[in-house]
Amino acid sequence: MNATVRDVARKAGVSAMTVSRVINGGAGVRPETRRKVERAVTELDFVPNGVARGLMSSKSGTLGVIVPDISNPFFSILVRGAETVARRSGYRVLLCNSEGDLGLEKQYVQDMISHRAEGLIIAPVGDRSKANLQLLERRKFPLVLIDRSVAGFDCDLVQADSVAGAKMLASHLLSVGHRRIAVIIEPDNVSTARDRLAGFNAAMKAGGIKVPASHILRTTADRAGGYTAMQQILSLDPRPSAVFAVNNMTALGAMQAIRERGLVVPKDIALVCFDDVEHLAVLSPFLTVVNQPTEMFGTLAAQLVLDRIAGDTGGPPRRVVLQADLLVRESCGSKLSTIPQNHKPKGQ
């Protein structure tokens, strides 16, 4: 059985109110009495009931974080950034993995409300998350969207410039000679998919390249989706010379499909993607990527939601757009190591 406040009070020979004062750092307790209570707490291995304390104070000391795929290192690193800021401010993080499922996302949103979380950071499933987010909006719940926006829903947001990043990545493929380029992308109801495809198309248009519909593969942004999409790409005739993957996990699945066909990157087909993460850095050849400041997503989002909780910001929704860098490695067929953000393909 877990020890209670009353157990501590009996052992220390004081009232339960005195124990509460000591635990919560209250004044008006004599040093000798405080030592007795602290000794009883240690001997009974007493852990304060955070939920009960939150009910009394209307403060739970928790922030919620909901992401669509915690197995994706991008979101893992993002969460680490948010947790660091939260911890320094005296908050704990309640992490939920929606698995890209709207129903599960709704359950977690409701859990945040019922468990009295003080604020929420969420990478939404997609535009259809609007109804889930409106549950929070009606309660004036402090909320920050991260990585993805939601059409028709306006609140604090931290995201990268995916249009510019995708245009930079696609332009580099053109600059090293690729003309038949396929895309592995998420469905259009995900804002990052829309933005990255828009950036890709802008680069192709600037380069005078018309991309056939068969070269745009929509799938889930995970390893399985990348694997299946790449199998379809490898069956095209003529086969594309390069593939643009929406994120690191689709690139990982694509790489698996390429190797199973006995093909080599970039000799037989080039491969590039968004996000530079540790487990992809050990692949050979090293992947050319758009590198987003992943941990900064979390740190900035946590600070924004803490500002809202503290009431320091009462104005309109704030939008933070982070810039990304292009890291050029072997997988695109180029021997260069870096390309500046203002890089443009030759002839443009």
Q: Which residues 6+ apart lie within 8 Å of 86 measured at CB?
A: 63, 92, 93, 302, 306
Ramachandran angles phi, psi of 15, nearest 5° = -85, 160
Size (the chain), residues: 348
The angle subtended at Cα 182 by Cα 256 and Cα 268, nearest 5°, is 55
Residue showing tokens 């990478």: 123
pLDDT score, position 60: 76
Q: Which residues of the chain are under the pLDDT cut of 50?
A: 51, 55-57, 335-348
Cα separation of 208 and 231, whole Å? 27
Fold annotation for 61-160+294-322: Rossmann fold (3.40.50)
Q: Are 316 and 167 in contact (CB under 8 A)?
A: no
Dmax over CA atoms of the chain, in Å, equals 84
Contacts with 229 (C-beta within 8 Å, 6 or more apart), sequence order:
184, 217, 219, 250, 253, 254
pLDDT at 122: 98
Question: What residue spans define the domains of the chain?
Answer: 5-48, 61-160+294-322, 162-292+325-339
pLDDT in the model for residue 278: 66
Beta strands in 98-237 (DSSP E): 119-122, 143-146, 156-160, 181-185, 216-218
For residue 334, what pLDDT is reported?
A: 63
- Give me the pLDDT at residue 43, please: 87
Query: Which architecture characterizes domain 5-48 according to CATH?
Result: Orthogonal Bundle (1.10)
Close Cβ partners of 88 (under 8 Å, ≥ 6 residues apart): none
Cis peptide before 317 (omega within 30 of 0): no
Q: What are 59-110's pLDDT values in tens digits?
A: 678 999 999 999 999 999 999 999 999 999 999 999 999 999 999 999 999 9
DSSP string spanning 276-317?
Answer: --HHHHTSSSPPEEEE--HHHHHHHHHHHHHHHHHT---SSP
Domains 5-48 and 162-292+325-339 share a fold: no
pLDDT, position 59: 67
Output the CA–CA distances (angstroms, integers) from residue 295 to 97, 104, 219, 327, in the order listed: 18, 25, 26, 17
Asked if residues 121 and 185 have their Cβ atoms less than 8 Å apart, the reply is: no
Q: For residue 63, give the nearest of 323, 254, 308, 315 by alpha carbon.
A: 308
Q: In what order do the strands lie in the sheet with 156-160?
A: 92-97, 62-67, 119-122, 143-146, 156-160, 319-322
Write down the CATH superfamily of domain 162-292+325-339.
Answer: Response regulator (3.40.50.2300)
Q: Which pLDDT score, from 0 to 100, does residue 336 have?
A: 40
Q: What is residue 341's predicted lDDT score, i.e. its pLDDT?
A: 40
The gap from C-alpha 55 to its chain's centroid, in whole angstroms, comes to 30
